[in-house]
A and B are shown apart, each in its own frame.
Chain A
Amino acid sequence: MLFNILKRSFLNQKRAMAVMIVSVAVGTAIAASLLALSFDISSKVSRELRSFGANIVVQPRITGLAGVSGQKRYLREADIPKAKTIFWRHNILGVAPLLVVRDEKQNAQVLGTWYLRTIALPGEKKGFDTGASTVMPWWSIEGKWPAGDSEILAGIGIAEKKNLKIGDRVAVGGRQLRISGVLNAGGREDDMFVGELATVQLLYGLPGRISQVAVSALTTPMDDFAYKDPATMSRKEYEKWYCTGYVTSIAKQLEEVFAGSVARPIWPVAEAEGNVLSRLELLIILLTAVSLLAAALGISTTMIMSLLKRTEEVALMKGLGANTLQTVTVFLSEALLIGLAGGAVGYLLSLGISSYLGYQVFGTALEQKGMLLPISIGVSEVISVLGAYLPIRRALRIKPAIVLKGGQ
Chain B
Amino acid sequence: MSFITIEKVSKEYATTRALNGVDCTIGSGEWVNIMGPSGSGKSTLLNILGGLDRPTEGIVTINSTDINRLSEDELARFRRETIGFVFQQSHLIPYLDATENVMLAQYFHSIPDRGEAEEALKRVGLGHRLRHRPAELSGGEQQRVGIARALINNPNLLLADEPTGNLDRSNTRNILELLKELHAQEKFTVVVVTHDPFVSQWARRVISMEDGRIIRDEPVRS
Contacts and interface: CB of A to CB of B under 8 A. Distances in A.
Instruction: Give yes or no for direct A-B contact (beta carbon below 8 Å).
Output: yes
Contacts of B149: 320
B76 A323 contact: yes
A318 interface: yes
Question: Which of B95, B109, B111 has the most chain A CB atoms inside 10 A of its CB?
Answer: B95
B contacts with A: majority SS: helix
A24 B152 CA distance: 39
B80 interface: yes
A278 B89 CA distance: 62
Contacts of A400: 52
A405 B47 contact: yes
B132 to A, nearest CB: 14
B217 to A, nearest CB: 24
Interface residues of B, number: 35
A323 B77 contact: yes
Nearest to A13: B95
Nearest to B96: A8
A325 B72 CA distance: 11
A198 to B, nearest CB: 86
A407 B89 contact: yes
A316 interface: yes
Contact of B43 (A5, A9, A405): A405
Contact of B95 (A9, A317, A401): A9
B53 interface: yes
B73 interface: yes
Given A9-B95, A405-B47, A319 B85 contact: yes
A320 B93 contact: no
A1 B103 contact: yes
A43 interface: no
Interface in B95-131: 95-96, 100, 103-109, 111-112
Nearest to A325: B73
B87 interface: yes
B43 A321 contact: no
B10 to A, nearest CB: 16
Contacts of A318: 76
Contacts of B103: 1, 4
Nearest to B47: A401
B100 A321 contact: no
A4 B100 contact: yes
B93 A2 contact: no
A325 B76 CA distance: 11
Interface string A292-316: 0000000000000000000011011
Contacts of A312: 91
A331 B77 CA distance: 19
A320 B89 contact: no
Contacts of A12: 94-95
Nearest to A9: B95
Interface of A: 1-2, 4-5, 8-9, 11-12, 312-313, 315-326, 399-401, 404-405, 407-408
16 contacts: A1-B104, A4-B100, A5-B96, A5-B104, A316-B93, A319-B52, A320-B85, A320-B104, A321-B78, A321-B81, A321-B83, A321-B108, A325-B73, A405-B161, A407-B88, A407-B89
Nearest 6 Cβ contacts at the A-B interface: A321-B80, A401-B52, A1-B107, A323-B76, A1-B112, A321-B79
